[in-house]
Amino acid sequence: MLDRKLIEELIAERIAELDNGLYVVDLRISPTNVIHVELDKLKGGVSVHDCVSVSRNIEHNLDREQADFELHVSSAGLDKPIRHINQFAKNVGRSFKVQPQTEEAFEGELVKMADENLVFKVRTQKRDEVKKKKIWVEEIIELPYNQIKEAKIVISFK
């Protein structure tokens, strides 16, 4: 079995050398020694150079004679749920589909982050009984980061 702590140190070492806002979103090591590393950046996207650099630092410092392994280093995809608070900070102004821990799911625009709290603007259509038509109603929902069960960016092609 591979040493998770060693792999984390190798990743951190290369990220510090690159010094470009890179951070680890997810690190998984399977029982069969398949290593999955997902990276993201505070600003902009993760480049192929970033992935190759982190991958090489891991690969060159692990001994395949001691334990054979398979290594996958990639950027965090848009289709995957958000798993790190920095991913929210990077995507302020975008729409999210959010499933809170205890409340009903909603879709809304992330308007700001206040410490560990996320502030969403949700627009819903409700029927105005006086005018007998539907109107748009805006609501602000503030949620602590640790109260979010799952959140995904809504991809729009408009």
Sequential pLDDT tens for the chain (158 residues) = 789 999 999 999 999 999 999 999 999 999 999 999 999 999 989 999 999 999 999 999 999 888 899 999 999 988 889 999 999 999 999 999 999 999 999 999 999 998 889 999 999 888 887 777 888 889 999 999 999 999 999 988 87
Domains of the chain by residue range:
4-75, 85-153
Domain 85-153, CATH? 2.30.30.180
CA 100 – CA 95 distance, rounded (Å):
15
Q: CATH homologous superfamily for 4-75?
A: K homology (KH) domain (3.30.300.20)
Q: Give the β-pairing of 117-128 and 22-29.
A: unpaired
CA 84 – CA 36 distance, rounded (Å):
16
